[in-house]
């Protein structure tokens, strides 16, 4: 059984915090530029992961994996008048075994850093931000779709790939959409519609990288491969962490997922879908808080295994006075299997079920500002939607290390005409 789990985003905590800095400069009370200002940043991290399938699935046993991340980001307001220019580069090196493909046989994935071993250029892009608040921007280069589209807040806490990007979208395409570990050439535009709505639209290469190749980076545009088009609206609603809806569509034609079973090998257009997510705080008491998220998504079942996805998560944080940064959460990812995939699975000798469900319990305990340990347990009901496989119970632990440093390239200083002027400083 081929897993689609390796197509998910590893939520690069250090790299993405740099890449998604606010467009509007934020300054401290003493005039020091804190975020969104001209600067040069270096970030990096290493994640080591251990998983053990204790029962069920394909076979019991262990899988270890690791991910090294390195990134740099340069922001300048000197290149174009009235615009902020940001350039980002990031590299990843993945290694290790497969818990999904070799041990469990699930469809949705269990480890969001699981990827074929090798060094890859992950992102390389430039962005130009315009306007008084720099809220309108364009970005072009090697892009990770999930850095801005279908990007979670609360559910990003978890290890399972469906909580980073919904299974309905992550499973799509000939080589997956442009998400971890293989990104693609793309162009993205974003802006504001009034004060409360942020819009995003992008076009990505329809086939990221090269199928069945672990190359450092491959860009090969083709009219036959087409493009993946995606748009999203995010609503700035009080008391919500995030409220958003999105839709996506491939321009290329695809064969049906049940082509072997039906003998229908004709290619068709129509591989598209939509999603919606809401994320909000449920309760707060002093420093302690509980946040929850719900996401639903749909994909065309003629071309994809999962035609409907529903995911939910609850995370409690800051609940231990002696360990204020600890957090614990539970999440569920439910994928309903389309009729076409069930037909193909039966043709291949499987015993098709109607769904696959993954439940995860995770605890995160920072040991140092740069170091955290993350134990977790995962229960997979009907792995691969194949009743020939027993339900699986997976236990695991993760060690996360990260670092980062920023060198500001300007600071606010009083000038002869105004105390709002900006002057260069040497980092």
Show the 3-state SS of 309-331. Answer: EEEEEEEEECCCCCCCCCEEEEE
Evaluate whether residue 346 is within a structural domain.
no
Number of residues that this document lists for the chain: 427
In the chain, how many domains are there? 1
Evaluate whether residue 45 is within a structural domain.
yes
Evaluate whether residue 358 is within a structural domain.
no
62-78 b/e with 16+ CB inside 10 Å = b?
ebebbbbbbbbbbbbbe
Evaluate whether residue 280 is within a structural domain.
yes
Q: Which residue numbers in the chain have pLDDT < 70?
A: 1-36, 211-214, 217-222, 410-427
The number of C-alpha atoms within 13 Å of 116 and in the hemisphere containing its C-beta is 11
User: What residues pair up with 337 in beta bridges, in sequence order?
Assistant: 306
| Tens digit of each residue's pLDDT (9 = 90 or more) over 121-142 | 999 999 999 877 778 999 999 9
Q: State pTM to two decimals.
A: 0.87
Q: What is the pLDDT of residue 36?
A: 59
Q: What is the pLDDT of residue 77?
A: 87
Contact 306, 107 (CB under 8 A): yes
217 is in which domain, residue-wise? 5-284+399-424
Evaluate whether residue 383 is within a structural domain.
no
Contact 179, 170 (CB under 8 A): yes
Q: What is the pLDDT of residue 82?
A: 84
Respond yes or no on whether the N-terminal peptide bond of residue 408 is cis (omega within 30° of 0). Answer: no
Evaluate whether residue 357 is within a structural domain.
no
Q: What is the pLDDT of residue 212?
A: 61
Interatomic CA distance for residues 381 and 387, integer angstroms: 10
Q: What is the pLDDT of residue 135?
A: 84
| Tens digit of each residue's pLDDT (9 = 90 or more) over 255-271 | 999 999 999 999 999 99
Q: What is the pLDDT of residue 4?
A: 56
């Amino acid at each position: 059984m081929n897993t689609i789990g390796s197509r998910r985003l590893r939520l690069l905590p250090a790299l993405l915090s740099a890449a998604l800095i606010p467009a509007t400069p934020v300054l401290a009370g003493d005039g020091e530029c804190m975020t969104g200002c001209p600067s040069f940043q270096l970030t990096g991290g290493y994640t080591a992961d251990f998983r053990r399938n204790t029962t069920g699935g394909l076979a019991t046993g262990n899988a270890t994996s690791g991910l090294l991340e390195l990134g740099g980001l340069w922001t300048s307001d000197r290149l174009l008048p009235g615009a902020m220019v940001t350039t980002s580069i990031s590299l990843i090196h993945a290694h290790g075994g497969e818990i999904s493909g070799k041990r469990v046989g699930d469809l949705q994935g269990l480890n969001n850093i699981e990827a074929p071993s090798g060094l890859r250029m992950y992102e390389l892009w430039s962005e130009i931000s315009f306007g008084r608040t720099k809220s309108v921007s364009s970005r072009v280069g090697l892009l990770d779709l999930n850095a801005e589209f279908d990007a979670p807040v609360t559910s990003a806490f978890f290890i399972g790939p469906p909580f980073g990007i919904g299974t309905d979208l992550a499973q799509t395409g000939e080589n997956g959409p442009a998400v971890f570990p293989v990104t693609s050439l793309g162009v993205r535009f974003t802006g504001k519609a009034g004060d409360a709505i942020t819009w995003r639209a992008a076009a990505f290469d329809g086939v990221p990288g090269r199928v069945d190749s672990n190359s450092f980076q491959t860009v090969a545009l083709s009219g036959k491969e087409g493009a993946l088009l995606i748009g999203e609206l995010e609503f700035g609603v009080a008391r919500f962490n995030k409220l958003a809806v999105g839709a996506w569509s491939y321009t290329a034609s695809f064969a049906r997922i049940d082509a072997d079973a039906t003998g229908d090998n004709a290619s068709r257009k129509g591989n598209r879908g939509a999603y919606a997510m809401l994320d909000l705080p449920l309760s707060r008491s002093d420093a302690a808080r509980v946040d929850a998220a719900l996401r639903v998504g749909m994909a065309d079942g003629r071309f994809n295994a999962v035609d409907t996805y529903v995911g939910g998560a609850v995370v409690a944080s800051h609940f231990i006075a002696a360990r204020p940064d600890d957090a614990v959460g539970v999440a569920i990812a439910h994928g309903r299997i389309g009729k076409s995939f069930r037909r193909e699975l039966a043709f291949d000798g499987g015993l098709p079920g109607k769904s696959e469900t993954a439940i995860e319990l995770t605890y995160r305990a920072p040991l140092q500002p740069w170091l955290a340990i993350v134990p977790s347990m995962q229960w997979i009901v009907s792995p691969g939607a194949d009743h020939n496989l027993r339900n699986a119970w997976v236990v695991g632990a993760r060690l996360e290390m990260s670092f980062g440093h920023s060198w500001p390239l300007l600071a606010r200083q009083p000038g002869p005409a105004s105390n709002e002027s900006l002057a260069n400083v040497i980092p």
